[in-house]
Structure 1
Amino acid sequence: MTLRVLLVDDQPLIRVGFTAILRSQPDLEVVGEAGDGEDALRLAAETDPDVICMDVQMPRLDGVEATRRLVAGGTRAAVLILTTFDTDEALFAALTAGAAGFLLKSAGPEELIEAVRVLGRGDALLDPQVTRRVLQRMTAGAGAAPPPADAAPAAPAPADPLPAGPARGVGSGAGAGDGVGLTAREAEVLRAMARGLSNGEIARELFVGEATVKTHVSNVLLKTGARDRVHAVIWAFQRGMAG
Protein backbone atom coordinates (compact mmCIF):
# COMPACT_ATOMS: atom_id res chain seq x y z
CA MET A 1 0.00 0.00 0.00
CA THR A 2 1.28 3.46 -0.92
CA LEU A 3 1.00 6.12 1.79
CA ARG A 4 -0.04 9.58 0.67
CA VAL A 5 1.90 12.36 2.42
CA LEU A 6 1.27 16.11 2.64
CA LEU A 7 4.28 18.25 3.63
CA VAL A 8 3.68 21.53 5.49
CA ASP A 9 6.61 23.87 6.18
CA ASP A 10 7.23 27.55 5.49
CA GLN A 11 10.83 26.92 4.37
CA PRO A 12 11.01 25.77 0.72
CA LEU A 13 14.42 24.14 1.13
CA ILE A 14 13.15 21.96 3.95
CA ARG A 15 10.16 20.90 1.87
CA VAL A 16 12.45 20.02 -1.03
CA GLY A 17 14.66 17.94 1.25
CA PHE A 18 11.79 16.09 2.90
CA THR A 19 10.17 15.48 -0.48
CA ALA A 20 13.36 13.94 -1.84
CA ILE A 21 13.70 11.69 1.20
CA LEU A 22 10.12 10.43 1.09
CA ARG A 23 9.98 9.99 -2.67
CA SER A 24 13.04 7.74 -2.48
CA GLN A 25 10.72 5.09 -1.01
CA PRO A 26 8.39 3.13 -3.30
CA ASP A 27 5.62 2.99 -0.68
CA LEU A 28 5.54 6.76 0.00
CA GLU A 29 3.97 9.40 -2.25
CA VAL A 30 4.15 13.16 -1.62
CA VAL A 31 0.78 14.47 -2.82
CA GLY A 32 1.26 18.13 -1.95
CA GLU A 33 3.33 20.83 -0.27
CA ALA A 34 2.03 23.76 1.80
CA GLY A 35 3.87 26.80 3.12
CA ASP A 36 1.54 27.58 6.02
CA GLY A 37 -1.40 26.24 7.96
CA GLU A 38 -4.03 27.86 5.76
CA ASP A 39 -2.67 26.16 2.66
CA ALA A 40 -2.41 22.92 4.65
CA LEU A 41 -6.14 22.96 5.38
CA ARG A 42 -6.97 23.54 1.72
CA LEU A 43 -4.57 20.91 0.38
CA ALA A 44 -5.62 18.34 2.97
CA ALA A 45 -9.19 18.64 1.70
CA GLU A 46 -8.05 18.39 -1.92
CA THR A 47 -5.52 15.56 -1.66
CA ASP A 48 -6.89 13.37 1.19
CA PRO A 49 -3.47 12.38 2.58
CA ASP A 50 -2.79 9.50 4.95
CA VAL A 51 -0.10 11.44 6.84
CA ILE A 52 0.53 15.17 7.21
CA CYS A 53 4.05 16.27 8.17
CA MET A 54 3.41 19.57 9.94
CA ASP A 55 5.80 22.34 10.97
CA VAL A 56 4.95 24.29 14.12
CA GLN A 57 5.97 27.90 13.53
CA MET A 58 4.52 29.23 10.27
CA PRO A 59 2.92 32.48 9.04
CA ARG A 60 -0.85 33.05 8.81
CA LEU A 61 -1.72 29.84 10.71
CA ASP A 62 0.70 27.83 12.84
CA GLY A 63 0.95 24.07 12.83
CA VAL A 64 -0.71 23.51 16.20
CA GLU A 65 -3.85 25.45 15.25
CA ALA A 66 -3.90 23.88 11.79
CA THR A 67 -3.74 20.45 13.43
CA ARG A 68 -6.56 21.37 15.81
CA ARG A 69 -8.78 22.46 12.91
CA LEU A 70 -7.98 19.38 10.84
CA VAL A 71 -8.85 17.06 13.72
CA ALA A 72 -12.00 19.00 14.57
CA GLY A 73 -13.00 18.71 10.93
CA GLY A 74 -12.74 14.93 11.10
CA THR A 75 -9.64 14.41 8.97
CA ARG A 76 -8.56 10.80 8.61
CA ALA A 77 -4.93 11.89 8.22
CA ALA A 78 -2.45 11.32 11.03
CA VAL A 79 -0.47 14.48 11.81
CA LEU A 80 3.26 14.20 12.42
CA ILE A 81 4.64 17.34 14.02
CA LEU A 82 8.13 18.21 12.77
CA THR A 83 9.90 20.93 14.73
CA THR A 84 13.29 22.26 15.77
CA PHE A 85 11.96 22.95 19.26
CA ASP A 86 12.25 20.14 21.81
CA THR A 87 10.15 21.84 24.45
CA ASP A 88 7.36 20.61 26.68
CA GLU A 89 5.20 23.52 25.52
CA ALA A 90 5.43 22.59 21.83
CA LEU A 91 4.99 18.91 22.57
CA PHE A 92 1.99 19.33 24.83
CA ALA A 93 0.30 21.82 22.50
CA ALA A 94 0.73 19.49 19.53
CA LEU A 95 -0.61 16.45 21.34
CA THR A 96 -3.62 18.23 22.79
CA ALA A 97 -4.35 19.57 19.30
CA GLY A 98 -4.58 15.97 18.08
CA ALA A 99 -1.17 15.21 16.58
CA ALA A 100 -0.30 11.51 16.46
CA GLY A 101 3.47 11.93 16.38
CA PHE A 102 6.27 14.31 17.26
CA LEU A 103 9.68 14.29 15.56
CA LEU A 104 12.56 16.75 15.70
CA LYS A 105 13.87 18.06 12.38
CA SER A 106 17.33 16.98 13.48
CA ALA A 107 16.23 13.36 13.03
CA GLY A 108 17.84 11.38 10.22
CA PRO A 109 16.20 10.44 6.93
CA GLU A 110 15.48 6.88 8.07
CA GLU A 111 13.75 8.17 11.19
CA LEU A 112 11.50 10.41 9.10
CA ILE A 113 10.63 7.55 6.75
CA GLU A 114 9.86 5.21 9.64
CA ALA A 115 7.80 7.89 11.41
CA VAL A 116 5.59 8.34 8.35
CA ARG A 117 5.15 4.58 8.05
CA VAL A 118 4.29 4.22 11.74
CA LEU A 119 1.60 6.88 11.54
CA GLY A 120 0.40 5.56 8.21
CA ARG A 121 -0.42 2.17 9.71
CA GLY A 122 -2.45 3.78 12.46
CA ASP A 123 0.05 3.83 15.32
CA ALA A 124 1.28 6.83 17.32
CA LEU A 125 4.89 7.95 17.42
CA LEU A 126 6.06 9.15 20.80
CA ASP A 127 9.11 7.87 22.58
CA PRO A 128 8.32 6.47 26.05
CA GLN A 129 10.68 9.03 27.58
CA VAL A 130 8.73 11.83 25.91
CA THR A 131 5.46 10.24 27.02
CA ARG A 132 6.70 10.35 30.60
CA ARG A 133 7.49 14.06 30.22
CA VAL A 134 3.91 14.71 29.15
CA LEU A 135 2.49 12.65 31.99
CA GLN A 136 4.76 14.25 34.59
CA ARG A 137 3.60 17.66 33.44
CA MET A 138 -0.04 16.62 33.69
CA THR A 139 0.55 15.16 37.14
CA ALA A 140 2.20 18.35 38.33
CA GLY A 141 -0.57 20.40 36.75
CA ALA A 142 1.89 23.13 35.84
CA GLY A 143 0.91 24.90 32.67
CA ALA A 144 -1.23 22.06 31.38
CA ALA A 145 -3.71 23.18 28.77
CA PRO A 146 -7.32 23.13 29.99
CA PRO A 147 -9.75 20.87 28.13
CA PRO A 148 -12.10 22.58 25.66
CA ALA A 149 -15.66 23.43 26.57
CA ASP A 150 -17.11 20.29 25.01
CA ALA A 151 -14.78 17.93 26.87
CA ALA A 152 -16.41 15.26 28.99
CA PRO A 153 -16.24 15.99 32.72
CA ALA A 154 -13.45 14.28 34.58
CA ALA A 155 -14.52 11.04 36.21
CA PRO A 156 -13.22 9.54 39.45
CA ALA A 157 -11.23 6.33 39.38
CA PRO A 158 -13.65 3.63 40.48
CA ALA A 159 -13.00 -0.06 40.63
CA ASP A 160 -12.97 -2.06 37.39
CA PRO A 161 -14.82 -2.18 35.09
CA LEU A 162 -14.09 1.49 34.47
CA PRO A 163 -16.45 3.91 32.76
CA ALA A 164 -15.14 5.42 29.56
CA GLY A 165 -17.22 8.29 28.30
CA PRO A 166 -16.54 10.55 25.30
CA ALA A 167 -13.09 12.13 25.36
CA ARG A 168 -12.99 15.12 23.04
CA GLY A 169 -10.53 17.14 25.07
CA VAL A 170 -7.36 15.35 23.97
CA GLY A 171 -7.52 15.77 20.23
CA SER A 172 -9.70 12.75 19.67
CA GLY A 173 -11.90 14.47 17.15
CA ALA A 174 -14.91 12.66 15.73
CA GLY A 175 -15.91 9.21 16.87
CA ALA A 176 -15.63 9.62 20.62
CA GLY A 177 -16.19 6.68 22.94
CA ASP A 178 -19.65 5.20 23.32
CA GLY A 179 -19.60 5.06 27.10
CA VAL A 180 -19.03 1.28 27.39
CA GLY A 181 -16.80 0.56 30.40
CA LEU A 182 -13.30 -0.81 30.16
CA THR A 183 -12.81 -4.34 31.38
CA ALA A 184 -10.35 -4.99 34.18
CA ARG A 185 -7.78 -6.26 31.68
CA GLU A 186 -8.25 -3.28 29.36
CA ALA A 187 -7.77 -0.93 32.30
CA GLU A 188 -4.59 -2.80 33.20
CA VAL A 189 -3.32 -2.41 29.63
CA LEU A 190 -4.16 1.30 29.70
CA ARG A 191 -2.16 1.76 32.90
CA ALA A 192 0.77 -0.04 31.28
CA MET A 193 0.47 2.25 28.26
CA ALA A 194 0.59 5.20 30.66
CA ARG A 195 3.94 3.90 31.89
CA GLY A 196 5.26 4.12 28.34
CA LEU A 197 5.40 0.37 27.71
CA SER A 198 5.27 -0.99 24.17
CA ASN A 199 2.88 -3.77 23.15
CA GLY A 200 5.69 -6.31 23.44
CA GLU A 201 6.63 -5.13 26.92
CA ILE A 202 2.99 -5.22 28.01
CA ALA A 203 2.65 -8.75 26.66
CA ARG A 204 5.68 -9.96 28.62
CA GLU A 205 4.50 -8.25 31.80
CA LEU A 206 0.98 -9.69 31.60
CA PHE A 207 2.10 -13.11 30.26
CA VAL A 208 -0.10 -12.89 27.17
CA GLY A 209 0.54 -12.82 23.45
CA GLU A 210 1.30 -9.56 21.67
CA ALA A 211 -1.73 -10.08 19.42
CA THR A 212 -3.88 -10.17 22.55
CA VAL A 213 -2.37 -6.88 23.73
CA LYS A 214 -3.08 -5.30 20.34
CA THR A 215 -6.72 -6.33 20.69
CA HIS A 216 -6.92 -4.80 24.17
CA VAL A 217 -5.29 -1.57 22.92
CA SER A 218 -7.77 -1.37 20.06
CA ASN A 219 -10.64 -1.80 22.51
CA VAL A 220 -9.20 0.92 24.76
CA LEU A 221 -9.00 3.34 21.83
CA LEU A 222 -12.54 2.51 20.76
CA LYS A 223 -14.02 2.93 24.22
CA THR A 224 -12.15 6.12 25.12
CA GLY A 225 -12.65 7.68 21.70
CA ALA A 226 -8.91 8.43 21.50
CA ARG A 227 -7.21 8.76 18.11
CA ASP A 228 -4.22 6.68 19.23
CA ARG A 229 -2.47 5.28 22.30
CA VAL A 230 -0.86 8.59 23.24
CA HIS A 231 -4.21 10.33 23.46
CA ALA A 232 -5.68 7.37 25.34
CA VAL A 233 -2.99 7.89 27.97
CA ILE A 234 -3.74 11.60 28.18
CA TRP A 235 -7.44 10.73 28.48
CA ALA A 236 -6.65 8.39 31.37
CA PHE A 237 -4.54 10.99 33.19
CA GLN A 238 -7.24 13.64 32.83
CA ARG A 239 -9.59 11.27 34.64
CA GLY A 240 -7.20 9.95 37.27
CA MET A 241 -7.28 6.47 35.75
CA ALA A 242 -3.61 6.06 34.79
CA GLY A 243 -2.14 5.23 38.16
Structure 2
Amino acid sequence: METQLSPGDLDPPIRIAVIDDHPLLRDGIVAVLGTQPDLELVGTGEDGEAAVRIYREQRPDVMLLDLQMPNVDGVEAMTRILAEFPEARILVLTTYSGDGRATQAIKAGASGYLLKNSLRTELLDAIRSIHRGGTHFDRQVFGAADREAKRLTARESDVLELAAAGNSNKQIAARLSLSEDTVKGYMKAIFARLGAMDRTHAVAIAVRNGLIEL
Protein backbone atom coordinates (compact mmCIF):
# COMPACT_ATOMS: atom_id res chain seq x y z
CA MET A 1 0.00 0.00 0.00
CA GLU A 2 1.46 3.38 -1.05
CA THR A 3 2.06 5.84 1.78
CA GLN A 4 0.54 9.26 1.23
CA LEU A 5 2.61 12.24 2.36
CA SER A 6 0.85 15.08 4.10
CA PRO A 7 2.01 18.69 3.57
CA GLY A 8 3.65 18.56 6.98
CA ASP A 9 5.91 15.71 5.82
CA LEU A 10 7.50 17.84 3.09
CA ASP A 11 10.51 20.10 3.61
CA PRO A 12 9.69 23.80 3.31
CA PRO A 13 10.82 25.35 0.01
CA ILE A 14 14.19 27.08 -0.22
CA ARG A 15 13.48 30.82 -0.09
CA ILE A 16 15.40 32.76 -2.76
CA ALA A 17 16.05 36.46 -3.41
CA VAL A 18 17.45 37.59 -6.78
CA ILE A 19 19.41 40.85 -7.10
CA ASP A 20 20.62 41.87 -10.56
CA ASP A 21 20.40 45.15 -12.47
CA HIS A 22 19.70 43.48 -15.83
CA PRO A 23 15.91 42.93 -16.09
CA LEU A 24 16.12 40.22 -18.76
CA LEU A 25 18.60 38.14 -16.79
CA ARG A 26 16.74 38.69 -13.55
CA ASP A 27 13.44 37.71 -15.13
CA GLY A 28 15.07 34.65 -16.71
CA ILE A 29 16.35 33.45 -13.33
CA VAL A 30 12.94 34.06 -11.77
CA ALA A 31 11.31 32.01 -14.53
CA VAL A 32 13.69 29.09 -13.91
CA LEU A 33 13.05 29.20 -10.16
CA GLY A 34 9.33 29.10 -10.86
CA THR A 35 9.67 25.67 -12.45
CA GLN A 36 11.12 24.13 -9.28
CA PRO A 37 8.66 23.06 -6.55
CA ASP A 38 11.33 23.15 -3.85
CA LEU A 39 12.29 26.79 -4.56
CA GLU A 40 10.33 29.90 -3.62
CA LEU A 41 11.05 33.45 -4.78
CA VAL A 42 10.73 35.95 -1.91
CA GLY A 43 12.17 39.11 -3.45
CA THR A 44 13.93 40.77 -6.39
CA GLY A 45 16.00 43.94 -6.69
CA GLU A 46 18.36 45.79 -8.99
CA ASP A 47 21.10 47.22 -6.77
CA GLY A 48 22.98 46.70 -3.52
CA GLU A 49 20.69 48.93 -1.49
CA ALA A 50 17.77 46.73 -2.49
CA ALA A 51 19.80 43.63 -1.59
CA VAL A 52 20.37 44.84 1.97
CA ARG A 53 16.75 45.92 2.40
CA ILE A 54 15.32 42.68 1.00
CA TYR A 55 17.60 40.54 3.14
CA ARG A 56 16.52 42.40 6.27
CA GLU A 57 12.85 42.08 5.38
CA GLN A 58 12.73 38.53 4.01
CA ARG A 59 15.78 36.67 5.42
CA PRO A 60 16.05 34.44 2.32
CA ASP A 61 17.75 31.06 2.64
CA VAL A 62 19.93 31.91 -0.37
CA MET A 63 20.48 35.28 -2.05
CA LEU A 64 21.65 35.46 -5.69
CA LEU A 65 23.70 38.64 -5.93
CA ASP A 66 25.20 40.30 -9.00
CA LEU A 67 28.65 41.83 -8.50
CA GLN A 68 28.40 44.69 -10.99
CA MET A 69 25.51 46.99 -10.07
CA PRO A 70 24.94 50.75 -9.88
CA ASN A 71 25.00 52.75 -6.64
CA VAL A 72 26.05 49.98 -4.23
CA ASP A 73 27.85 47.02 -5.85
CA GLY A 74 27.61 43.38 -4.87
CA VAL A 75 30.73 43.24 -2.70
CA GLU A 76 29.66 46.20 -0.57
CA ALA A 77 26.11 44.88 -0.28
CA MET A 78 27.33 41.44 0.78
CA THR A 79 29.73 42.96 3.31
CA ARG A 80 26.88 44.91 4.89
CA ILE A 81 24.54 41.92 4.92
CA LEU A 82 27.08 39.55 6.47
CA ALA A 83 28.08 42.11 9.10
CA GLU A 84 24.47 42.12 10.27
CA PHE A 85 23.58 38.50 9.43
CA PRO A 86 26.74 36.34 9.50
CA GLU A 87 24.70 33.22 8.75
CA ALA A 88 23.60 34.64 5.35
CA ARG A 89 24.16 32.35 2.36
CA ILE A 90 25.03 34.37 -0.76
CA LEU A 91 25.70 33.11 -4.28
CA VAL A 92 27.61 35.74 -6.29
CA LEU A 93 26.85 36.10 -9.99
CA THR A 94 29.21 37.75 -12.49
CA THR A 95 29.98 37.85 -16.19
CA TYR A 96 33.76 37.51 -16.28
CA SER A 97 35.94 34.75 -14.87
CA GLY A 98 38.75 37.29 -14.52
CA ASP A 99 36.69 39.76 -12.49
CA GLY A 100 39.07 40.99 -9.79
CA ARG A 101 36.19 41.32 -7.38
CA ALA A 102 35.83 37.54 -7.22
CA THR A 103 38.54 37.41 -4.59
CA GLN A 104 36.96 40.35 -2.74
CA ALA A 105 33.59 38.59 -2.79
CA ILE A 106 35.01 35.37 -1.40
CA LYS A 107 36.99 37.19 1.28
CA ALA A 108 33.79 39.01 2.21
CA GLY A 109 32.11 35.65 2.83
CA ALA A 110 30.37 34.51 -0.36
CA SER A 111 29.13 30.92 -0.22
CA GLY A 112 29.47 30.53 -3.97
CA TYR A 113 30.66 32.20 -7.16
CA LEU A 114 28.97 31.48 -10.48
CA LEU A 115 29.57 32.83 -13.97
CA LYS A 116 26.39 33.94 -15.70
CA ASN A 117 27.17 31.75 -18.71
CA SER A 118 26.95 28.75 -16.36
CA LEU A 119 23.52 29.60 -14.97
CA ARG A 120 21.69 27.22 -17.30
CA THR A 121 23.72 24.20 -16.18
CA GLU A 122 24.78 24.98 -12.60
CA LEU A 123 22.35 27.43 -10.97
CA LEU A 124 19.92 24.97 -9.41
CA ASP A 125 22.63 22.66 -8.10
CA ALA A 126 24.49 25.67 -6.69
CA ILE A 127 21.42 26.93 -4.83
CA ARG A 128 20.67 23.54 -3.30
CA SER A 129 24.29 22.91 -2.35
CA ILE A 130 24.60 26.27 -0.62
CA HIS A 131 21.31 25.78 1.19
CA ARG A 132 22.61 22.49 2.57
CA GLY A 133 25.60 24.35 4.03
CA GLY A 134 28.05 23.68 1.22
CA THR A 135 29.78 25.95 -1.25
CA HIS A 136 29.73 26.18 -5.03
CA PHE A 137 32.44 27.78 -7.16
CA ASP A 138 32.39 27.89 -10.94
CA ARG A 139 34.88 25.50 -12.53
CA GLN A 140 36.47 28.30 -14.56
CA VAL A 141 37.48 30.15 -11.40
CA PHE A 142 37.53 27.18 -9.04
CA GLY A 143 41.28 27.05 -8.42
CA ALA A 144 41.61 30.60 -7.12
CA ALA A 145 38.19 30.64 -5.51
CA ASP A 146 38.75 27.40 -3.63
CA ARG A 147 41.99 28.70 -2.16
CA GLU A 148 40.32 31.92 -1.10
CA ALA A 149 37.33 30.05 0.32
CA LYS A 150 39.59 28.38 2.83
CA ARG A 151 40.50 31.76 4.31
CA LEU A 152 38.67 33.11 7.34
CA THR A 153 37.62 36.69 7.97
CA ALA A 154 39.29 38.43 10.91
CA ARG A 155 36.18 37.97 13.07
CA GLU A 156 35.86 34.28 12.12
CA SER A 157 39.49 33.77 13.11
CA ASP A 158 38.82 35.41 16.48
CA VAL A 159 35.81 33.17 17.08
CA LEU A 160 37.59 29.97 16.08
CA GLU A 161 40.72 30.75 18.12
CA LEU A 162 38.56 31.25 21.22
CA ALA A 163 36.68 28.03 20.45
CA ALA A 164 40.01 26.22 20.07
CA ALA A 165 40.96 27.46 23.54
CA GLY A 166 37.93 25.68 24.97
CA ASN A 167 35.49 28.58 25.24
CA SER A 168 31.76 27.93 24.85
CA ASN A 169 29.61 30.04 22.52
CA LYS A 170 28.40 32.00 25.53
CA GLN A 171 31.96 32.70 26.66
CA ILE A 172 33.04 33.68 23.14
CA ALA A 173 30.08 36.06 22.92
CA ALA A 174 31.09 37.72 26.17
CA ARG A 175 34.74 38.03 25.13
CA LEU A 176 33.89 39.59 21.76
CA SER A 177 30.86 41.64 22.88
CA LEU A 178 28.53 39.71 20.58
CA SER A 179 25.24 37.91 21.09
CA GLU A 180 25.35 34.14 21.48
CA ASP A 181 23.21 33.76 18.34
CA THR A 182 25.74 35.80 16.37
CA VAL A 183 28.55 33.52 17.55
CA LYS A 184 26.50 30.50 16.48
CA GLY A 185 26.12 32.14 13.06
CA TYR A 186 29.88 32.63 12.80
CA MET A 187 30.51 29.00 13.76
CA LYS A 188 28.06 27.80 11.12
CA ALA A 189 29.80 29.98 8.51
CA ILE A 190 33.21 28.66 9.59
CA PHE A 191 32.06 25.03 9.28
CA ALA A 192 30.69 25.70 5.79
CA ARG A 193 33.78 27.60 4.63
CA LEU A 194 36.20 24.94 5.84
CA GLY A 195 34.04 21.92 5.08
CA ALA A 196 34.21 20.95 8.75
CA MET A 197 31.88 18.60 10.61
CA ASP A 198 32.33 20.10 14.07
CA ARG A 199 34.54 22.42 16.16
CA THR A 200 37.39 19.99 16.54
CA HIS A 201 37.44 19.31 12.81
CA ALA A 202 37.31 23.05 12.04
CA VAL A 203 40.21 23.79 14.37
CA ALA A 204 42.29 20.98 12.83
CA ILE A 205 41.67 22.25 9.29
CA ALA A 206 42.39 25.86 10.26
CA VAL A 207 45.64 24.98 12.03
CA ARG A 208 46.78 22.75 9.14
CA ASN A 209 46.20 25.59 6.68
CA GLY A 210 47.81 28.23 8.88
CA LEU A 211 44.54 30.12 9.38
CA ILE A 212 44.75 30.31 13.18
CA GLU A 213 47.41 29.86 15.83
CA LEU A 214 46.98 27.87 19.02
Secondary structure of the corresponding residue to residue 106 of structure 1 = helix
The partner residue of 2:83 within 65, 72, 86 is: 72
Between the aligned partners of 2:127 and 2:156, the Cα distance in structure 1 is 31
Shift of residue 109 of structure 1? 2.2
Percent of aligned pairs sharing the same letter: 33
Between the aligned partners of 1:239 and 1:135, the Cα distance in structure 2 is 18
Alignment check: 8 A CA contact 1:164 1:223 kept: no
| Greater relative contact order (CA < 8 Å, ≥ 6 in sequence) | 1
Q: Which residue of 2 aligns with 1:207?
A: none
From the superposition, tell whether residues 134 and 13 of structure 1 become closer, same or farther in structure 2 (CA, over 3 Å).
closer
Between the aligned partners of 1:3 and 1:136, the Cα distance in structure 2 is 28
| TM-score (normalizing by structure 2) | 0.68
CA RMSD of aligned residues (A): 4.0
Shift of residue 18 of structure 1? 0.5
The partner residue of 1:218 within 177, 197, 205 is: 197
Q: Does 1:109 align with 2:125?
A: no
Q: Which residue of 1 aligns with 2:29?
A: 18
Shift of residue 110 of structure 1? 3.7
Shift of residue 137 of structure 1? 7.6
Structure with bigger helix share is 2
Between the aligned partners of 2:182 and 2:147, the Cα distance in structure 1 is 27
Between the aligned partners of 2:139 and 2:209, the Cα distance in structure 1 is 16
Secondary structure of the corresponding residue to residue 107 of structure 1 = helix
The answer for unaligned runs of 5 or more in structure 1 is: 139-144, 156-161, 178-189, 194-213, 225-231
Secondary structure of the corresponding residue to residue 92 of structure 2 = strand
Q: Which residue of 2 aligns with 1:206?
A: none
Shift of residue 238 of structure 1? 3.7
Q: Does 1:6 align with 2:17?
A: yes
Between the aligned partners of 2:135 and 2:200, the Cα distance in structure 1 is 12
Amino acid at match of 1:219: D
| TM-score (normalizing by structure 1) | 0.61
Between the aligned partners of 1:233 and 1:106, the Cα distance in structure 2 is 33
From the superposition, tell whether residues 234 and 89 of structure 1 become closer, same or farther in structure 2 (CA, over 3 Å).
farther
The answer for unaligned runs of 5 or more in structure 2 is: 1-10, 188-192
